[in-house]
Amino acid sequence: MVNITVVGVGHVGLVSAAAFARWGHQVVGLDDDPAKVEKLRGGQAWFYEPGLQELLDEVVTGGRLQFTGDAKDALQDAEVVFVCVGTPPMPGGGPNLAFVEAVGRTVVEHASRDLVLVEKSTVPANTGRRLEQVIQRETSRLGNSHRIEVASNPEFLKEGAAVEDTLHPDRVVYGTSSDVSRDALRRVYAPLVEQDGCPVVETDVPTAELIKHASNAFLATRISFINAVAQICERVGADVAVVAEGMGHDVRIGPRFLQAGLGYGGSCFPKDVDAFAHLAKQVGYDFELLEQVARINVGQRDTVIGKLEHELWHLTDKTIAVLGAAFKPGTDDLRESPAIHLAQRLREAGAEVRIYDPVALPNVAIEHPELERHETIEGCLDGAHAAVVATDWDEIKRITPQQYLDKLAYPIVIDGRNVHDPDEMIAAGLRYHSMGRRSVDL
Ligand code: UGA
């Protein structure tokens, strides 16, 4: 059993804390947002994630996971402290690491024994070194005699599958600078490795940081690659879904993350691609490929607008039903959501926008009150001049051609996530366009 403190109980921090507790460790979650702490103390998750509430029910009730807003309490017995605070993007391109630095200072102030400080937030390679400097400076300023070592343990969980990904990861990666910190992380992950036989990559701190950068940038590159291929497919009459299937059978390529559409969003890929490009520049390498990956991604939204304009000519005063608001299914997260960006672009072009989402509407109400919300698909489609599929929720996949025909004023559907069958939609009489597949005559 290891005494663990997790600083920051957001998506990564809360799920990780609950998983550590499930593996038998004693865990404290520390956060400076009193509303979150209060909710969590009552055993309630403050955001939606499949399986999270059940996991909290088990570990909070069992007393293995506690929450506090008091740093001194949280760090009292900590042997391993995970930094899971936010690293929001800054206007210049890099992430804002002020919260990470602040955790470093707080930990030195309250450490009551030797401990390992582990970065789990997605941070640029070299943050480990920066944290070491902070610790050295603060240790000599405060005269704290405890040894604090910095390690990196990047997180690879996906929103919407965070609990599953954390309890059964493809791999665990940690970078350490001594046997002491390596052994501490071995003890943290021992129950998982014993149960699941999950592969472990043990390395140094900068390499662990780079594994995270490279993994996210590579996945984003796959998505932009297939989206660029989709553009060519449209122009030569090929079907990108079948191209992806054909490519995916090659075991060197594999089938996943080759789904063409509106592109990637969320709190990770857009920010991480920019941060990696920014880091590369800082160290003297122009990683132009990543700039193209981001450019292709945003360009997918123009493609959808182009298709709408092709059908409707002007968008001014046209009512467009946007189906889906979350950046992907299985979450209510709107951060960098392509659906929301598209809705905003449509409004700028003069359209009236309505939006439907099975779980994210409360967040739309708070963050984008300008968008007209609809609780049902039928209500959203009713009388609209066109529909755009923006998030591939199952509810949206199940819409039949007849439902569109019955409700829309004009039978126009732009499928930004390739969820419907083009032959069926076109045969039913819809003006159907998707991304890189057969469309109604252009
Ligand atoms: C991503 C990574 O997949 C995780 O491994 C990583 O830990 C996480 O970022 C992070 O750095 O914290 P996440 O942002 O939750 O996870 O979402 P993904 O499932 O990766 O989807 C990202 C976006 O790509 C979504 O908007 C999704 O719709 C889009 N996408 C995904 C596609 O457009 N095509 C695909 O084939 C796959």
Q: Note the pLDDT tens digit of each residue in 195-240.
A: 889 999 999 999 999 999 999 999 999 999 999 999 999 999 999 9
Ligand 1 atom with the shortest distance to the CA of 222: 36
264 close to ligand 1 (CB < 6 Angstrom) = yes
Asked which of 17-31, 141-155, 422-436 is least confident by mean pLDDT, the reply is 141-155
Residue 414 and residue 304 in contact, taking contact as beta carbons nearer than 8 Å: yes
Query: What is the CATH code of the structural domain delimited by 3-202?
Result: 3.40.50.720
- pLDDT surpasses 90 at 92: no
Looking at the DSSP assignment, which residues form a beta bridge with residue 116?
Answer: 80, 149
266 lines ligand 1 (CB under 6 A): yes
More confident residue, 126 or 437: 437
Among 152, 219, 256, 262, say which to mutate for ligand 1: greatest number of ligand atoms within 8 Å of CB. Answer: 219
Please tell me the residue having the least CA distance from ligand 1 atom 34: 259
Fold of 216-433: Rossmann fold (3.40.50)
Of 268-272, 353-357, 418-422, 437-441, which range is least confident? 437-441
CA 373, CA 368: separation in Å to the nearest integer? 10
Element of type H or E holding 149: strand 148-152
> Hunting for tokens 């399986």 — which residue is that?
51
* Residue nearest atom 37 of ligand 1, based on CA coordinates: 257
Nearest CA to ligand 1 atom 2: 158
Model confidence over 314-359: pLDDT tens digits?
999 999 999 999 999 988 999 999 999 999 999 999 999 999 999 9
430 lines ligand 1 (CB under 6 A): no
Residue 5's Cβ-side half-sphere holds a number of Cα atoms within 13 Å equal to: 25
Question: How close is the Cα of 165 to the center of ligand 1, in Å?
Answer: 12
**HEC sequence for the chain:** CCEEEEECCCHHHHHHHHHHHHCCCEEEEECCCHHHHHHHHCCCCCCCCCCHHHHHHHHHHCCCEEEECCHHHHHCCCCEEEECCCCCECCCCCECCHHHHHHHHHHHHHCCCCEEEEECCCCCCCHHHHHHHHHHHHHHHHCCCCCEEEEECCCCCCCCCHHHHHHCCCCEEEECCCHHHHHHHHHHHHHHHHHHCCCEEEECHHHHHHHHHHHHHHHHHHHHHHHHHHHHHHHHCCCHHHHHHHHHCCCCCCCCCCCCCCCCCCCCHHHHHHHHHHHHHHCCCCCHHHHHHHHHHHHHHHHHHHHHHHHHCCCCCCEEEEECCCCCCCCCCCCCCHHHHHHHHHHHCCCEEEEECCCCHHHHHHHCCCCEEECCHHHHHCCCCEEEECCCCHHHHCCCHHHHHHHCCCCEEEECCCCCCHHHHHHCCCEEECCCCCCCCC
Mean pLDDT across the stretch 40-55? 93
**Per-residue confidence at 93, pLDDT binned at 50, 70, 90?**
low
Q: What is the pLDDT of residue 442?
A: 56
Ligand 1 contact, 259 CB (< 6 A)? yes
The per-residue pLDDT of the chain, averaged, comes to 95
pLDDT above 60: residue 186: yes
Q: Which atom of ligand 1 is nearest to the CA of 261?
A: 33
* Start-to-end CA span in the chain (Å): 64
**Closest atom, ligand 1, to C-alpha of 220:** 24
CATH 3.40.50.720 domain residues, the chain: 3-202, 216-433
For residues 149-166, average pLDDT: 94
Q: Write the single-letter amino acid at 318.
A: K
Lowest mean pLDDT: which of 77-91, 245-259, 415-429? 77-91
Collapse the DSSP code of 319 into the 3-class scheme (helix H, G, I; strand E, B; otherwise coil) and give the result: strand
Choosing from 84, 233, 268, 380, the catalytic residue is 268
**What pLDDT score does 196 carry?**
85
Beta bridge partners of 431: 412
Q: Give residue-wise pLDDT tens across range 385-397.
A: 999 999 999 999 9
| Any atom of ligand 1 within 6 Å of the Cβ of 99 | no
Among the atoms of ligand 1, which is closest to the Cα of residue 263?
Answer: 33
CA of 219 to the centre of ligand 1 (A): 8
Cβ 49 under 6 angstroms from ligand 1: no
191 CA distance to ligand 1 middle (Å): 27
Q: Across-strand partners of 67?
A: 29
User: Angle at CA 293, nearest 5°, toward 227 and 96?
Assistant: 135
pLDDT tens digits, 234-258: 999 999 999 999 999 999 999 999 9
The pLDDT assigned to 150 comes to 96
Give the residue-averaged pLDDT of 410-418: 98
Report percent pLDDT > 90 for the chain.
Answer: 89
pLDDT at site 185: 98
d(Cα 226, Cα 243) in Å, to the nearest integer?
A: 9
Residue 65 has a pLDDT of: 97
**Residue 216 CB–ligand 1 contact under 6 Å:** yes
Of residues 226, 266, 262, 274, the one with CA closest to residue 246: 226
> Quick one: which atom of ligand 1 is closest to the CA of 258?
36
- Give the span between the Cα atoms of 273 and 291, in whole angstroms: 8
268 a catalytic residue: yes
SS3 19: helix
**Rounded distance between C-alpha atoms, residue 293 and residue 306, angstroms:** 20
Distance 269 CA to ligand 1 centre (A): 7
